[in-house]
Amino acid sequence: MSAPNIDTIVSLAKRRGFVFPSSDIYGGLGSAWDYGPLGVELSNNIKQSWWRWLVYERDDIEGIDSSIILNRLVWKYSGHEATFHDPLVDCRECKTRMRADKIEGKCANCGSTNLTEPRNFNMMFRTVLGAAAEEDDPTALAYLRPETAQGIFINFLNVQTTLRRKIPFGIAQIGKSFRNEITPGNFILRTREFEQMEMEYFVKPDAEHLKLVDEWVELYLEWFKSLGISGDNLQLHEVPAEELAHYSKRTVDIMYRYFPERPEQERQWEELMGIAYRTDFDLRSHSNKPVDEEGKRVNPDSTEDLSYFDETTKQRFYPHVIEPAAGVNRTVLAVLMDAYSEKTNDKGETRVILRLSPQLAPIKAAILPLAKNKPEIVGMAKAIKRSLQPVLRAVYDDTGGIGKLYARQDEIGTPMCVTVDHQSLEDEAVTVRDRDTWEQERVKVAELADYLQRRLKATSPVQPVAGTSSLEI
Residues that bind ligand ATP (CB under 6 A): 179, 181, 190-191, 194, 196, 271-274, 325-327, 329-330
Bridge partners, 173 (sequence order): 64, 198
Element (H, E) at 285: helix 281-285
Smallest separation (angstroms) from ligand ATP to the CB of 211: 20
Greatest CA separation for the chain: 90
Backbone angles phi, psi at 37, to 5 degrees: -55, -40
Distances (CA, A) of 39 to 3, 90, 239, 362, 451: 17, 35, 32, 8, 27
Residue number with CB closer to ligand ATP (203 or 325): 325
Of 187 and 406, the one with the shorter C-beta distance to ligand ATP is: 187
> Least Å distance between CB 99 and ligand ATP?
8
Cβ distance to ligand ATP smaller for residue 8 or 186: 186
Query: Cβ 23 to ligand ATP, closest distance in Å?
Result: 18
Q: Which amino acid is at 254?
A: I
- CA atoms of 115 and 138, how far apart (whole Å): 34
Least distance to ligand ATP from the beta carbon of 46, Å? 12
Measured from the CB atom, the residue of 319 and 327 that comes closer to ligand ATP is 327
CB 320 within 8 Å of CB 179: no
Which bin fits 52, alpha (ψ -120 to 50), beta or left (φ > 0)?
Answer: alpha
Q: At what angle do helices 328-339 and 37-51 cross, to 10 degrees?
A: 110
Comparing C-alpha atoms, which of 365, 397, 335, 336 is closest to residue 13? 336
Q: Which is nearer to ligand ATP, 22 or 341 (CB)?
A: 22
User: Which of 174, 323, 321, 171 has its CA nearest to residue 253?
Assistant: 323
Question: Any idea what DSSP says for residue 101?
Answer: G
Nearer to ligand ATP, 190 or 385 (CB): 190
What's the closest the beta carbon of residue 188 comes to ligand ATP, in angstroms?
Answer: 7
Closest separation in Å from C-beta 273 to ligand ATP? 4
Cβ nearer to ligand ATP, comparing 20 with 125:
125
Q: CB of 276: closest distance to ligand ATP in angstroms?
A: 7
